[in-house]
Amino acid sequence: MMTMKTLMTAALLAITTAAAGAPVSVASPDGRLVASLDTDNDGRALWSLMRDGHPLVAASRLGFILADAPKLERHLGVTGSERRSIDTSWQQPWGERRLVRDHHNELRVHLAESAGTHRRIDVIFRVSDDGIGFRYEFRDAGSVRIAEELTEFNIVPAATAWWIPAYDWNREEQLYRTTPIADVGTAQTPMTLRAADGTHVAIHEAALVDYAAMNLAHVDGGKFRVSLTPSNNGPKVVRTAPFATPWRALIVADSAAGLANSNLILNLNEPNKLGDVSWVRPCKYMGIWWGMHLGLQSWASGPIHGATTANALKMIDFAHDNGFCGLLIEGWNIGWDADWFADGESFDFTRPYPDFDLPRVAGYARAHGIRLIGHHETSGNIAHYETQMAAAFDLYQRLGIDAVKTGYVADAGGIKARQADGSIGYEWHEGQAMARHHLYVVTEAAKRHIAVNAHEPIKDTGLRRTYPNMVSREGARGMEYNAWGAPPNPPQHEATLAFTRMLAGPMDYTPGIVSLKGKNGQPIPSTLAKQLGLYIVLYSPLQMAADLPENYTAQPQALRFIKLVPVDWEDSIAIGGEVGAFAILARRDRNGPDWYVGAIGGASARNVSVPLRFLDPAKRYVAEIWRDGDKADWQGAPFDMVVETRHVRATDTLALRIAAGGGFAIRIRAE
């Protein structure tokens, strides 16, 4: 085992340069992955990837269509290259694990046109044992207007794909499709693939800064080409060079669990730019929230207005009495009474409704050790929001509110943004304008020591490493669909998210609906034990106990676990799983010695084994287990849950049954 000191010492192993000429290649530290760049007869640059000596990605094109200059694609030659190797570790201020190892080999390839304007562009590869990232760097100073990126991913093995379509009205809030790779349409990322030999690949991107998000347009067979999210004003990306694009990333592993154990996306991001972020504090929170989704309360003013002073004080008491640290209050500010979906123009981000005494509620929360989580629903009107955002954050800072949940409810393509000429134009949630907006929100929030949890967000590309107040986000179908119920999230949904959406970063899924019922009393496709397993499997530093207080009071066994489970981890290990079938994760508390194991299943029951080799072999432990009872089944007996204690050691393997729609949660403490 390396000591902390060795780990924290950045090791730049070597830098070498090479002369002109293709092909050039670079291997992962374990030698299993080899990325190459070659040129064809027309001078097109092509990249490829081998794994264990077999092609995983065949020759795939690189390049750009530019709006005001000839296509940057042909007549390219390799004019030189540089290599370096890095083996270092860095600390996450909060996260799934405290120490993250970054061990990779880098190859920077200089390309230049042999004809015309002799433009120069670099392609940088970083290859680690868990995958590869590559990005372009535009080197010639001046304006770059990108009409489309031509990067291809020519996947060789036949594979099953888990994906959601790009450009559909409901953004990322869709059910995953499971199809042969050849039947994928235009997909969002991450898209996860499983080949017949068990190789798993997830295609995603890292460090999406001031650029349009990448979608994958299916061409033919296993071949995809980048489709950048459009912009209102022609070119999809407008930048001034020199600049680097986001990383195009492939996480590669022998199993689904291997994908979940990867740090590739974080490692491809820049280190923390905010300095001391001890003010970003992970937190388990309740909310004046589920009641609205059930239709029992309203965001709008009126007889069932949820965000009243009286309701807030009651919720603060309950959260305090049960050891929670935060309370989200939605519908506190003026603007919900008209058709708030329509345009977001009516929202006032500093003015509370008359029946909500904001200073009093904030003072009461402070006195009870509860942190309020602010709420800014924008309805996708960022032009309007940006005029009030600074004042709204100032208000929160004055009141000691250190986290905000933002929301961008609008159809895909329905973001209203101020354009360069002052007019309002429609943008996409994942276009360059929104990449800029989200960073603007996060940096303005950081100035006031506020953390951000965005709903209907831009996808996560690991920017929490650089801006650690970008704590969580939605970006998939969350629990709210189970309230509305048309249709609810099917039992395999979360076990799919664990190996698709979650590879991007934390998700505010809002687990813990222990009543297992939606709006019209319709059942949620889950057992009670699964609601507990979700806390461990679906990581978020802001984790909600989303149900109503009375529903927790009615389920004391479940509430006990929800009170115990930490939200910040020293280490995390995906122990097993199959996309859409089940996921088992073990995590160690960052602020204590206990381990927690969580599992969620899919549509059918299964038996699983949990080897406990992550425990200290010198110790004896007590495992407290919240599991599906023998008759449990989400359709017939969802509340059948057994809570039991077993004495265990590192050499033991727990054998457990997960019911249909089930799961389990375990706390393991030393005896």
The answer to whether the CB of 602 falls within 8 A of the CB of 580 is yes
Rg (CA), the chain: 25
Q: Dump the DSSP string for 301-348.
A: SSTTBS--HHHHHHHHHHHHHTT--EEEE-S-BS--SS-HHHHSTT--
Per CB under 6 A, the list member of 67, 409, 603, 608 interacting with ligand NOJ is: 409
Give how many residues touch ligand NOJ by CB under 6 A.
Answer: 8
**Chain residues 321-380 in contact with Ca ion, contact rule CB under 5 A:** none
Beta strands in 68-165 (DSSP E): 76-91, 99-113, 120-128, 131-149, 152-155, 159-163
What's the min distance (Å) between Cβ of 212 and ligand NOJ?
A: 23
The answer to whether residue 455 forms part of the interface with ligand NOJ (CB under 6 A) is yes
φ, ψ for residue 328, nearest 5 deg: -90, 135
Binding mask 426-465 toward Ca ion (x if CB under 5 A, else -) reads: -----------------------------x----------
What's the min distance (Å) between Cβ of 433 and ligand NOJ?
A: 21
Pick from 354, 439, 447: nearest CA to 394:
447
Tokens for 602? 């899919």
What residue 152 binds from Ca ion, ligand NOJ, none (CB within 5 to 8 A, per partner kind)?
none
What residue 204 binds from Ca ion, ligand NOJ, none (CB within 5 to 8 A, per partner kind)?
none
The answer to whether residue 480 forms part of the interface with ligand NOJ (CB under 6 A) is yes
What's the min distance (Å) between Cβ of 534 and ligand NOJ?
A: 16
What's the min distance (Å) between Cβ of 330 and ligand NOJ?
A: 5
3-state SS assignment for residue 211: coil
What's the min distance (Å) between Cβ of 409 and ligand NOJ?
A: 5
The answer to whether residue 474 forms part of the interface with ligand NOJ (CB under 6 A) is yes
Q: Please, which residue, 455 or 517, has the CB nearer to Ca ion?
A: 455
What's the min distance (Å) between Cβ of 455 and Ca ion?
A: 5
Query: What is the Cα–Cα distance from 460 to 479, expressed in whole angstroms?
Result: 19
**Chain residues 272-311 in contact with ligand NOJ, contact rule CB under 6 A:** 289
What residue 464 binds from Ca ion, ligand NOJ, none (CB within 5 to 8 A, per partner kind)?
none
What residue 525 binds from ligand NOJ, Ca ion, none (CB within 5 to 8 A, per partner kind)?
none
The answer to whether the CB of 639 falls within 8 A of the CB of 626 is no
What's the min distance (Å) between Cβ of 561 and ligand NOJ?
A: 23
Number of H helices, E strands in the chain: 14, 37
Choosing from 480, 494, 570, 644, the catalytic residue is 480
Which one-letter DSSP state was computed for residue 94?
A: S
φ, ψ for residue 342, nearest 5 deg: -65, -55
Q: Please, which residue, 253 or 548, has the CB nearer to ligand NOJ?
A: 548
What's the min distance (Å) between Cβ of 295 and ligand NOJ?
A: 13
**Known catalytic membership, residue 330:** no
Helix (H) or strand (E) holding 363: helix 358-367
Q: Please, which residue, 148 or 377, has the CB nearer to ligand NOJ?
A: 377
What residue 629 binds from Ca ion, ligand NOJ, none (CB within 5 to 8 A, per partner kind)?
none
What's the min distance (Å) between Cβ of 345 and ligand NOJ?
A: 16
What residue 407 binds from ligand NOJ, Ca ion, none (CB within 5 to 8 A, per partner kind)?
ligand NOJ
User: How do the residues of the chain divide into helix, strand and coil, expressed in percent and rounded to 5?
Assistant: 20, 40, 45
Q: Please, which residue, 455 or 465, has the CB nearer to Ca ion?
A: 455
Q: Please, which residue, 9 or 170, has the CB nearer to ligand NOJ?
A: 170
Q: Which position's Cβ is nearest Ca ion?
A: 455
What residue 377 binds from Ca ion, ligand NOJ, none (CB within 5 to 8 A, per partner kind)?
ligand NOJ
**Chain residues 223-252 in contact with ligand NOJ, contact rule CB under 6 A:** none
Helix (H) or strand (E) holding 424: strand 424-427
The β-bridge partners of 584 are: 576, 599
Q: Please, which residue, 369 or 487, has the CB nearer to Ca ion?
A: 487
Q: Please, which residue, 293 or 448, has the CB nearer to ligand NOJ?
A: 293
Give the relative orientation of helices 382-399 and 432-447 as an angle to the nearest 10 degrees.
20
Q: Say how many Å lie between the first and final Cα of the chain, rounded.
A: 25
What's the min distance (Å) between Cβ of 480 and ligand NOJ?
A: 5
3-state SS assignment for residue 469: coil
Query: What is the Cα–Cα distance from 61 to 249, expressed in whole angstroms?
Result: 15
Q: Please, which residue, 402 or 474, has the CB nearer to ligand NOJ?
A: 474
**Chain residues 537-596 in contact with ligand NOJ, contact rule CB under 6 A:** none
Pick from 34, 32, 572: nearest CA to 263:
572
The answer to whether the CB of 80 falls within 8 A of the CB of 18 is yes
What's the min distance (Å) between Cβ of 77 and Ca ion?
A: 48
* List of residues 6+ apart from 558 with CB closer than 8 A: 512, 514, 528, 531, 532, 552, 626, 641
The answer to whether the CB of 187 falls within 8 A of the CB of 161 is yes
C-beta atoms surrounding 487 within 10 Å: 11
What residue 608 binds from Ca ion, ligand NOJ, none (CB within 5 to 8 A, per partner kind)?
none
**Chain residues 73-112 in contact with ligand NOJ, contact rule CB under 6 A:** none
The answer to whether the CB of 330 falls within 8 A of the CB of 289 is yes
What residue 634 binds from Ca ion, ligand NOJ, none (CB within 5 to 8 A, per partner kind)?
none
Q: Please, which residue, 129 or 474, has the CB nearer to Ca ion?
A: 474
The answer to whether residue 407 forms part of the interface with ligand NOJ (CB under 6 A) is yes
Q: Please, which residue, 290 or 428, has the CB nearer to ligand NOJ?
A: 290
Pick from 222, 204, 223: nearest CA to 214:
204
267 — alpha (psi -120 to 50), left (phi > 0) or beta? alpha
Q: Distances from the Cα of 398 to the Cαs of 89, 296, 382, 392, in angstroms?
A: 37, 32, 23, 10
The answer to whether the CB of 504 falls within 8 A of the CB of 460 is yes
Per CB under 6 A, the list member of 96, 149, 205, 330 interacting with ligand NOJ is: 330
Q: Please, which residue, 483 or 548, has the CB nearer to Ca ion?
A: 483
Which amino acids are annotated catalytic?
Answer: 480
Which residues of this chain interact with ligand NOJ, rule CB under 6 A?
Answer: 289, 330, 377, 407, 409, 455, 474, 480
Which residues of this chain interact with Ca ion, rule CB under 5 A?
Answer: 455
